[in-house]
Structure 1
C-alpha cells in the first residue's frame, strides 16, 4: 500500500468496552476522521456548500474493516490512508492502523461524489476536474 496521507489519534476512554479494548465500531469513525483530515490537507471539504445553496458531498456506499490486534485506552494510533481507486464518480480509500510497529487493523471505504439540492433526491455526479486533480496530485507525491 502506497501511503498518501498519515495522521495520528490517541484512543479515548469512552471509545473502549468493558474489557478496556477499543470497540470495533470506532474504527469506522477513525476512518472517517482520517478521510476528513486528508480532504482538508488538499484544501477540500467533505461537505462543500455551493453558491446556489446546493451541496457537493461524499456519501459512503461501502465500508469494511478487519482487525489484527486489540487497541487500548491511551494508545497512539497512526492511520495511514491511501487512495486505492479514483473513479469517474467514486473514490475508494484504504486505511491501515498501526501502534508503533504493530499493525492493528485494515479498512476500506468507497464514497461517491453527489450533488444535493433541497427538495430533490441526491444525484451522483462525475468528480469535478479540480477535485480530481488535487487527489491525483496527492497520489503522485506519495509514490
Structure 2
C-alpha cells in the first residue's frame, strides 16, 4: 500500500530518558501529531464545530505500537501514515516511524467519528460525506 501522508518530527530532549532514548509513550503523541497534520492537509480538523453548536470529533477506540529500534534525542523521524480502512463510522490508520533507513516503530489507531452535543452523551455517527470524499481522494492520490 502506498503512503497516504508523510511528516517529520525532531525528537526533543524532554521526550527522552537520561540515556537520550525516547520514552515509549511519546510514540503515541507522534502518531497523534501525524494524524492532526494529515487532517489539516485535507482542510479538516479533529475538532470540527458545527453550525448547530455541536462538535464532530474523533475519539480513539484502540491504539497500539510495537518498537523495532530506539529513537534518540535529536533524531529526525519520518512518520508515514496510511489509511488501512475507512468504515461507516471509523478510520483505522497505520503509522510507520523511520529514522533514515532504520524502522523505529509501527503503530495503529482506530478512531470513531462522533458528535458531541452540549448536555447529551457523545454519539457515534456515520462519517459525513464531505469528509469521506477527502479521505478517499487522499488514498487515491497515494496509489
Give the TM-score range, shorter chain.
over 0.9
Counterparts in 2 of 1:1-143, with a 5 A limit?
Answer: 1-143=1-143
How far apart are 1:19 and its partner, in Å? Answer: 2.0
SS of the aligned residue for 1:33 comes to: helix
Q: TM-score, normalised by structure 1?
A: 0.99
Q: How many residues align?
A: 143
CA distance in 2, matches of 1:141, 1:105: 25
Unaligned runs of 5+ in 2: none
CA distance in 2, matches of 1:26, 1:138: 26
Taking only aligned residues, the RMSD between alpha carbons, in angstroms, comes to: 0.6
Q: Deviations over 1:52-85 (max 9, x none)?
A: 1110000000000000000100000000000000
Q: Deviations over 1:3-36 (max 9, x none)?
A: 0000000000000012210000000000000000
